[in-house]
Chain A
Amino acid sequence: MSPRPLHFLRRGQRVTLHDVPPDRTLLEVLREDLHCTGTKEGCGEGDCGACTVVIGERVQDTDGPAQLRYKAINSCIRLAHSIDGMALWTVEDLTQDPHLHLPAGKDLHPVQESLLQCHGTQCGFCTPGFVMSMFGMYQNHAGGSQLDRQGAQEALSGNLCRCTGYRPILEAARHMATLPPATVDAPAVLQKLELLALEKQAPEAQSSYQRPSSLRELLQLRAEHPQAQVVAGCTDVGLWVTKQHRRFDMVLDVTAAAELQTITHAEGQLRIGAAATLEAAFTALHSHWPQLHSFAARFAGLPVRNSGTLGGNVANGSPIGDSMPLLIALNAQVVLASVRGERRLPLEQLYTGYRQNVIAQDELLVRIDVPVPPLSSGTTQHLRAYKVSKRQDDDISAVCLVMHLQVSEGIVTHASVGAGGVAATPARAVQTEAAMRGQPWTAATAHSAGRTLQAEFSPISDMRASGDYRKHLLGSLMQRFWLESQGQVGVSLQDIRVEVSA
């Protein structure tokens, strides 16, 4: 089986590539096949951002006009075929795209000009990645003018620089909005993307990279090719290719199936399609629970959140994945589908052991349903998501703990607790929940719940943390939760600000 030709739009032109293997990365295609070496490989695992490029997708909301959606992504772990039918910008393209209009008399895009003026480059190896993350910000946040320092910092947390100490780069991210603007001729790009979509031949049944556009086709293909590697955003599977050297004869990419991309709010549920990106999914969750913002911003870097999907994170089932403890605490259910039909189960029941789950060979995880019931009057809801890691941003949790309580007349009426990093799978702290449910919400209850929580798990020691430390955290995070539930401020480092007068 060979893959079908790969088409994408770059510099106003359709690029067509033949015989690109299904497991070839976008970065390999750029550097080795197209000889565009502006985009760099720093780590080959999506953690440093040197390989960042921006993709443009044509999206159409019901009724509204088609729009161009820009996403900065890591090209080193993204399979090349996954960008079929999209627009692509690399660092070289910002000054070479006929649809990207630079300010009059300028030979640099404002993001480039800004980095130059702010002395934001030293060795320069990370620079193309920063340029492209900033280009994503530029397109998505009105030239960057809508982002404060915090916003800029969050948007750039997936790009590492070892030379500058970031101060000039963060300054450049703010400064770019003050420079004469550059604009993308979005209608022209959209028109070409539409043509690309129309020209695309019907799916070849025998192609080795399948990216069907409907759930029905997807499930049919899944049934026919149980050995195919299922991918969504590739943010983990990409590493199997680059680091574990695995080969895939056939890839089934779920990201184009319209049903899997949608996020809807209906019947007291937030229904998140499994292929919704982490960024989109967290935005939806965050709109219901604003306190989740900082937790969401700490989930990997933006390029990973732009590619990776909520369903991928859940299906992957890593014990240190951060979305599952949250979803468990929110009592989410997963929907598994196959040509045989659908079934749903509580998320934590998906897992049977370390990276093992109940998904059958012909099944796919298609949706995550998060209940958002209206609160009955007199009930207070306490939801907090905690993550402890070596680095604040773009790191993997030593421990992730999500606490979700409803308290009515001083009594805990509902308790759900999700934990990561403390067992072979993401886990629900069943005993801890039981220890709180029906109890008065007091310091004593919290303290005792902390003890139960510590007794409930036997975390391992590894390079991220010792088992003892993880165990300690379970107790101390419960204590912080108690304090925060009482409205105490000054108990979180996030709240602390310092002013040093000049």
Chain B
Amino acid sequence: MNTAAMYTTGVMGQSHAHESAKAQVLGAAPYLDDLAELRGTLYAAPILSTVAHGTLHGLDCTDALAMPGVHGVVLAADIPGDPILAAFGHDEPIFALDKVWHVGQVMGLVVADSVMAARRAARKVKADITPLPAVLDTATAIAQQSFVLPPVHVRRGDADAGLARAPHRLQGTLEVGGQEHFYLEGQIAYVIPQEQNQWLVHSSTQHPGEVQEWVAHALGIGAHAVTVQCRRMGGGFGGKETQAGHLAVWAALAARKFGCPIKLRLDRDDDFMVTGKRHPFSYEWDVGFDDQGQITGLKLQMAAHCGFSADLSGPVADRAIFHADNAYFLSDVSITSYRCKLNTQSHTAFRGFGGPQGVIVIETIMGDIARMLGLDALAVRQRNYYDADVQSGRATTHYQMVVEDNILRPITQKLELSAHYQQRLAAISAWNAENSILQRGIALTPVKFGISFTATLFNQAGALVHVYTDGTVQVNHGGTEMGQGLNTKVAQIVADELGVPLAQVQVTASDTSKVPNASATAASSGTDLNGRAAQYAAQKVRSNLAAFVAGLDHCGAGAVGFSGGKIHSPNGSRDFKAVVKEAYANRIQLWSDGFYRTPKIHYDKTTLTGRPFYYFAYGVACTEVAIDTLTGESKVLAIDVLYDAGKSINPAIDIGQVEGGFVQGMGWLTTEQLVWNDKGVLTTHAPSTYKIPATGDIPAHFQVQLYQEPNREDNVGGSKAVGEPPFMLAISVYEALRHAIASARDQQGKTGVVQLQAPATAEHVLQALLH
């Protein structure tokens, strides 16, 4: 483990425990459902469609209303504002209006005096629906031109010419499944009416500002009448970016109708049925390459299964395009992206946000090329890497961004050596030749991930730093804490800026009345944006104090330093606390705001060209697996990861993000299978049927190291983002499985590419072995 303090001069760089860790292990860290409830609180439960597509004629609530404890129902007619959510595409009704679009769509609420009474009654509501034909696969959607947004084409060079001149060609297809977020804390909102048509919303959300906007929109009031708070989430992973807003709107409508606090907590099965997931993707490609495996031309079609509405599907599918290169220079490429409308839940943000769906297809192509040519897959990958020399002509992405901070080769070489990739590759070949029932596989795959919201406007953040007269510090910023350690890192940044011990800094709940118009905590950008904003706020307070001390000591403000809980000048040191007290007495401002916007970024939304990302984060993973050729079962045997966190603000937290992201990605590609039946019903809607990784899936050898090089761009503390990129390192699991499958197929004399559908369940591995 690499948690040793590397930067020992301050609080930053040290592996401080998560700010809530002690409260969490004591069971004393309250989540939304744990907050003390106000007198008169009622509970809501959703009424769900059981039909995938149909005309909704009406709801018969008679039986539900007769149930004990039921206070009433909330239906579309109860919406005072716009009955369509203020979402991205303005295409989602708050409650189903004249149509239902998927099984699990919310048609209204039952309100009762207990959670279970509301849930029981909600199932007694009878919906009068005339079924219509449902679109349940992307091929049908494309054939019928059923899209939530128009197709997007991105080109660079001449893909046809690149294919025509290629000595080798491969065509392929790939199906990659979606993924349920499975945040341990399900979706929940608690809305409390305030005086004069004002509303306090407790929401488990990654985006309080959007919850505020949506609730105001639905209630037909100004945003200034709605306050949204979130102290912590029990996991988010993108699933509480837009999805949390729906619950808050529903609860607010009920609170308005019944004039009392309303809590809406989804049962886990309902959460699966109602909320969107990671987009499943289908791909078709035609790739040309030379004898060494270098790609000369690529035509790629990506079809995103978006569900019934746009939600964030546009930017998700865009990011898939932006990451279809991953680490590789594609000279002549043409990408077509379809955003397919299907009668299912509306798929949404999920860690990586389309990036994984872009990276996996090019990694699959790399593996196929290597096998077709009989070359080592790592060699083929490296042959296609972007060149570190920006003048080389091989350092510009297909969307015209120059890769200036390329560390692909050194980081790959380092892991190749430390994980003994070559020796193990040889050992595995020898072992496989001696065995037939079991086969092993290994893969070392890279990730290059663009950091910034692709929607440029979201790359801004605000923060407040308050120094109280006793010298303690309170920080508030626009980000949200979902377990990723954002508040811990922000506190570390502020503590170092003011030169005070970490214990002196407290970060408080996200609150739209403190920092307004904050972006979602998403796109791995939480610390980059909010940490910087908080640093700027702290710097303003610090400069006020420095000027004050400079006045006392007749020196320049630049000569005043802050460290170890003391303020130093050429004349000596004073306690921070004492200076604060004295500064207050001299009417010096001890609090400030800070605002940050990411520099350098811009891009043209119509052609998807420009510089959408401030910088790239890199990582490499080497994974070894074994498969059982009798049953298709598999096992991950060893994982080695080297991740580029820049100058890590908190190595323990960063390693935790890398490990957690990797395992989540491994789940996406192995055990986590979403199954919709031919009626459009999601039949995997609980942990009994939907299997995220458990303790037994983690190999004893799981080694994560951080690559020690500061961010080459000016980012807070020299750090790099860590939330999403490690997720895609798990593609090494998938590629290692394909390596093992290829070995088994070779033994059996089978030819052709390894067609492995993701997730690589035992059944899918067996199909790949047998086809």
Interface residues of A (CB under 8 A from B): 28, 31-32, 35, 37-45, 47-48, 50, 90-92, 95, 108, 111-113, 115-117, 119, 121-128, 131, 149, 152-154, 156-157, 159-170, 242-243, 245, 301, 388-396, 398, 462-466, 469, 472-473, 476-477, 479-480, 483, 490-493, 496-501
Contacts and interface: CB of A to CB of B under 8 A. Distances in A.
Contact of A165 (B29, B482, B635, B660): B660
A245 B695 contact: no
Nearest to B677: A463
Interface in B727-749: none
B729 to A, nearest CB: 11
Contact of B437 (A164, A398, A483): A483
B691 A116 contact: no
B695 A45 contact: no
B448 to A, nearest CB: 22
Given A119-B18, A162-B237, A501-B420, A462 B119 contact: no
A476 B34 contact: no
A169 B698 CA distance: 11
B700 A37 contact: no
Given A123-B184, A167-B698, A390-B691, A243 B269 contact: yes
Contact of B25 (A108, A157, A243, A496): A108
Interface stretch (B96-104, B567-575, B622-630): B622-630
A115 B29 CA distance: 15
B18 A464 contact: no
Given A124-B24, A245-B123, A44 B438 contact: no
Interface of B: 3, 15, 17-18, 20-31, 33-34, 36, 114, 116, 119-120, 123, 181-186, 232-237, 267-269, 419-420, 424, 435, 437-438, 440, 482-485, 624, 626-628, 630-631, 633-635, 637-638, 640, 652-653, 655-656, 659-664, 671, 673, 675, 677, 683-684, 686-689, 691-703, 761-763, 766
Contacts of B34: 37-38
For chain A, what secondary structure do more than half of its interface residues adopt (helix, strand, loop), or is it mixed? loop
Given A44-B267, A493-B635, A123 B235 contact: yes
Given A156-B695, A169-B695, A465 B763 contact: yes
A492 B437 CA distance: 8
A228 to B, nearest CB: 21
B698 to A, nearest CB: 5
B684 to A, nearest CB: 5
A479 B436 CA distance: 13
Given A493-B628, A498-B701, A501-B420, A463 B684 contact: yes
A267 B26 CA distance: 50
A170 B626 CA distance: 22
A58 B29 CA distance: 32
B763 A157 contact: no
Contacts of A161: 184
Nearest to B770: A472
Contacts of A41: 33
Contacts of A389: 691
Given A119-B15, A166-B693, 13 more contacts: A37-B30, A45-B687, A92-B28, A160-B692, A165-B693, A166-B695, A167-B659, A391-B691, A396-B688, A491-B437, A491-B630, A492-B628, A498-B637
A377 B269 CA distance: 55
B31 A40 contact: yes
A165 to B, nearest CB: 3
23 contacts: A38-B27, A38-B28, A42-B186, A42-B687, A92-B27, A92-B28, A121-B24, A122-B235, A122-B660, A123-B183, A123-B483, A124-B18, A126-B234, A127-B25, A160-B692, A162-B184, A163-B235, A164-B656, A164-B659, A245-B120, A466-B763, A493-B633, A496-B637
B766 A469 contact: yes
Given A124-B234, A165-B659, A493-B635, A119 B695 contact: no
A121 B437 contact: no
Contacts of B655: 119
A442 to B, nearest CB: 18
Contact of B762 (A35, A116, A165, A390): A390
B234 A125 contact: yes
B693 A391 contact: yes
B251 to A, nearest CB: 18
Contacts of A42: 184-186, 268, 687
Nearest to B31: A125
Contacts of B116: 28, 245
Contact of A108 (B22, B234, B482, B694): B22
A166 B663 contact: yes
Contacts of A126: 184, 234
Contacts of A149: 700
Given A156-B695, A167-B702, A465-B763, A43 B123 contact: no
B686 A159 contact: no
Contacts of A497: 637
Contact of A119 (B21, B635, B701): B21
A116 B695 contact: no
Contacts of B482: 123
B309 to A, nearest CB: 25
Contact of A480 (B627, B630, B701): B630
A301 to B, nearest CB: 8
Contacts of B628: 492-493
B761 A390 contact: yes
Contacts of A50: 184
A395 B763 CA distance: 15
Nearest to B182: A162
A43 B687 contact: yes
A116 B21 contact: yes
Given A119-B656, A121-B20, A166-B663, A496 B184 contact: no
